[in-house]
Amino acid sequence: MTTPGAADRETWPLWEVFVRAGRGLSHVHAGSLHAPDAEFALRNARDLYTRRGEGTSIWVVPADAITTSDPDSKGAFFESPAGKNYRHASYYTASEGVPHL
């Protein structure tokens, strides 16, 4: 962590913004922004992402705090279950005498 203001063109840290559009919905990623700290990240998110009445609640998370999956290992990581019926419970027949299954 460098001293704030030490570099001439130092930029503010990046924050990811999650907005909940209404009651009963989950927070959904809306975008990202720069802000000097969490309180301003919330205020900037309000100005950037909720001015048309989209939101009832905002989360901001430091982009650094998010661990992402590796895009290069997409093939192995998100391998489709298609053609692997044995992975589904319905593939198996219930044995006789087993109730409540």
Partner 1 sequence: MSETSHADRGNEPHGEVTVDEVMLSAELAGGEGRAGSADVAEYALWLGDDALILSQQLGAWIARAPELEEDVALGNIALDLLGHARSFLRYAGTFDGRTEDDLAYWRDESEFRCAWVFQQPNGDFAQTIARQLAASTYLFELYTALQRSSDETLAAIAAKAVKEVEYHRDHAVQWTLRLAGGTDESRRRMVRAVGDVWPYVGELFRDEPLTDRLDGVAVRPSALQPGFDAVVAAVFAEAGLELPGGPMSSAGGRHGSHFPALGYLLAEMQVLARQHPGVTW
Residues binding partner 1 (CB under 8 A): 4-5, 11-12, 21-25, 28, 30, 33-37, 39-40, 43-44, 47-48, 51-54
Question: Nearest distance from residue 55's CB to partner 1, in Å?
Answer: 10
Give the nearer residue to partner 1 in terms of CB position, either 51 or 100. Answer: 51
Closest contact distance (angstroms) between CB of 80 and partner 1 is 23
Please give the C-alpha separations between residue 55 and each of 17, 26, 42, 44, 59, in angstroms, as whole numbers.
Answer: 12, 11, 12, 14, 11
Alpha-carbon gap, residue 51 to 43, rounded angstroms: 11
User: Closer CB to partner 1, residue 31 or residue 84?
Assistant: 31
Q: Smallest distance from the beta carbon of 34 to partner 1, in angstroms?
A: 6
Nearest distance from residue 63's CB to partner 1, in Å?
A: 14
Structure tokens at 49: 């992402």
Q: Cα(39)–Cα(43) distance, rounded to whole angstroms?
A: 7
